[in-house]
Structure 1
Amino acid sequence: MTEDQAPQGGQQTGRGPLTEAEVDRAKSIALQRDGLRSAQDVNGGRGPEYLDTDLADPADTADAVGTEEDRRVEVLFYDYGHDRLVKKTVDLTRGTVERTDTASGLQPPPSSDETAEAAELLIKDPLGQGLRTDFAAATKGTGLTSPDQLRLRGISFNTAEQSAPAALRKCGEHRCVRLFTQVKDGPWIDTTRFVVDLSDRTVGRIH
């Protein structure tokens, strides 16, 4: 369940879908601890980049204090300051953080903010010339200056799972994204051969 998909309403019980209010509360609880103070978001700002919130796996909370009706969720962040994934297990019923896990090399799907930032870096990069040219052709001369002019979908890129040239060898250790781009109310533009390294803010080519 992503934040965009969360239904309206207050707190539910058991395994019911997370509501928007629960997602917001889970994020607030997860961020109130000191442990994320030194983290950085995709723009280098203070605090980690929020990725997703989902119900915790019952098997992962079997030893937790409480009842089956307690609402336990996992909140995922990416800390660009340390290039690591941070997972906070939150008990919504009690308003506490039960557990914090960190890992390097794990790359879940990018957030909408990360996807937009990747697109902005590609638009400004010399390798984005083809994207800018194709956009101008599709829009009768309009210049491409902002991700807001595109419909975007991003997927993570990890060299531990996919082959890549030496210039992209850090993807996986770094946060890297490939983009699917479409002119709003217009055609798709193929940008899948490019990979944006959000950790060092560079653009590379797969082939």
Structure 2
Amino acid sequence: MAAITLPRAASAGDDHSTTAGSAAPSGAPGQHGTGTGTGNGSGAGPGAVTEIQAPQGGQHTGRGPLTKAEVDRAKFIALQRDGLRSAQDVDGGRGPEYLDTDLADPADDAAQTDEDRRVEVLFYDYGHDRLVKKTVNLTSGTVEHTDTASGLQPPPSGDETAEAAALLIEDPLGEGLRTDFAAAAKGTPLTSPGQLRLRGISFNTAEQSAPAALRKCGEHRCVRLFTQVKDGPWIDTTRFVVDLSDRTVGRIH
């Protein structure tokens, strides 16, 4: 057992939050891509969906904080008529993994004279190991820009954190976690991420040293975990890194 200080940028995996902390800086990803797109499908499922109306709800103006209705609407718009039909989420399902939604940087609107409400929606595409940023105009209901980049790793989503925990629990390197959990839980075996409180942070070898086995982290989507027995102690799992792209577990030290 070990006391652990949580990083401020860690995701709230246990809460299965729809957001993942601070988004990547505005302007990154760096490759400018398509505009509103021409496909007739959605990353969320097959078939033409353009006739479906985006969710409506309360909308703020200017730099006011995003409402849940705005986030839901932005996600819906971002996945309509775009080129993400071949994208995959963390489970290998169709459509990209949703990460976060935030207001667009004012600098992006410097040339704009209207009062349209613009947000950036971040996804991770496991099919191509790339970050996808959609700039959505909530006022007009359109995607204005699509940007993609590899090698950028914002904080993991709640679903990604839970999936990383599931892989660690099942892996031989998770033996210590399973043993410590059973000791803290009076013999109850650890079989599911739902038995833990979880926090996750991304791991990138471009920013952190790692053994050769983890050299693809950064190119791949990799996560370190902070684990706690519910209503119990923390268990130190920070020496392990879960590569969600190839679904393997490695050790830092």
With normalisation by structure 2, the TM-score equals 0.76
- Aligned residue for 2:57, secondary structure, equals coil
Q: Report the Cα distance in structure 2 between the residues aligned to 1:148 and 1:140, rounded to whole angstroms.
A: 17
Contact 1:2/1:54 (8 A) holds in 2 = no
Contact 1:89/1:99 (8 A) holds in 2 = yes
Q: Work out the number of aligned pairs and report it.
A: 205
Cα deviation, 1:71-119, whole Å, max 9, x if unaligned, reads 1000000000000000000000000000000000000000000000000
Q: Report the Cα distance in structure 2 between the residues aligned to 1:125 and 1:88, rounded to whole angstroms.
A: 35
- Aligned residue for 2:177, secondary structure, equals helix
Q: CA deviation at 1:6?
A: 18
Corresponding residue for residue 101 of structure 2: 53
Q: Report the Cα distance in structure 2 between the residues aligned to 1:95 and 1:3, rounded to whole angstroms.
A: 13
- Aligned residue for 2:92, secondary structure, equals coil
**Identical-pair percentage:** 91
Q: CA deviation at 1:70?
A: 1.3
Cα deviation, 1:131-183, whole Å, max 9, x if unaligned, reads 00000000100000000000000000000000000000000000000000000
Corresponding residue for residue 31 of structure 1: 79
Q: CA deviation at 1:66?
A: 5.5
- Aligned residue for 2:160, secondary structure, equals helix
> Greater share of helix residues, 1 or 2?
1
- Aligned residue for 2:52, secondary structure, equals helix
- Aligned residue for 1:172, secondary structure, equals coil
Q: CA deviation at 1:69?
A: 2.5
- Aligned residue for 1:21, secondary structure, equals helix
For CA contacts below 8 A with separation 6 or more, give which structure has more relative contact order.
2
Contact 1:2/1:52 (8 A) holds in 2 = no
Distance 1:89 1:151, change over 3 A: same
Q: Report the Cα distance in structure 2 between the residues aligned to 1:31 and 1:80, rounded to whole angstroms.
A: 16
Q: Report the Cα distance in structure 1 between the residues aligned to 2:238 and 2:53, rounded to whole angstroms.
A: 26
Q: Report the Cα distance in structure 2 between the residues aligned to 1:56 and 1:28, rounded to whole angstroms.
A: 17
Q: Report the Cα distance in structure 2 between the residues aligned to 1:180 and 1:3, rounded to whole angstroms.
A: 43
Contact 1:85/1:102 (8 A) holds in 2 = yes
Distance 1:162 1:6, change over 3 A: farther
Q: Higher mean Cα deviation, 2-11 or 176-185?
A: 2-11
Distance 1:7 1:81, change over 3 A: closer
Contact 1:115/1:177 (8 A) holds in 2 = yes
Contact 1:8/1:21 (8 A) holds in 2 = yes
Q: CA deviation at 1:3?
A: 25
Q: Report the Cα distance in structure 1 between the residues aligned to 2:165 and 2:199, rounded to whole angstroms.
A: 10
Contact 1:158/1:176 (8 A) holds in 2 = yes
Q: Report the Cα distance in structure 1 between the residues aligned to 2:232 and 2:170, rounded to whole angstroms.
A: 21
Distance 1:185 1:7, change over 3 A: farther
Structure 2 residue runs of 5 or longer lacking an equivalent are 1-48
Q: CA deviation at 1:7?
A: 16
Distance 1:180 1:189, change over 3 A: same
- Aligned residue for 2:213, secondary structure, equals helix
Structure 1 residue runs of 5 or longer lacking an equivalent are none
Q: How does 1:111-122 map to 2 (within 5 A)?
A: 111-122=157-168
Contact 1:14/1:68 (8 A) holds in 2 = no
How large is the Cα RMSD of the aligned pairs?
A: 4.5
Q: Report the Cα distance in structure 1 between the residues aligned to 2:53 and 2:217, rounded to whole angstroms.
A: 28
Q: CA deviation at 1:33?
A: 2.1
- Aligned residue for 1:101, secondary structure, equals strand
Distance 1:6 1:137, change over 3 A: farther
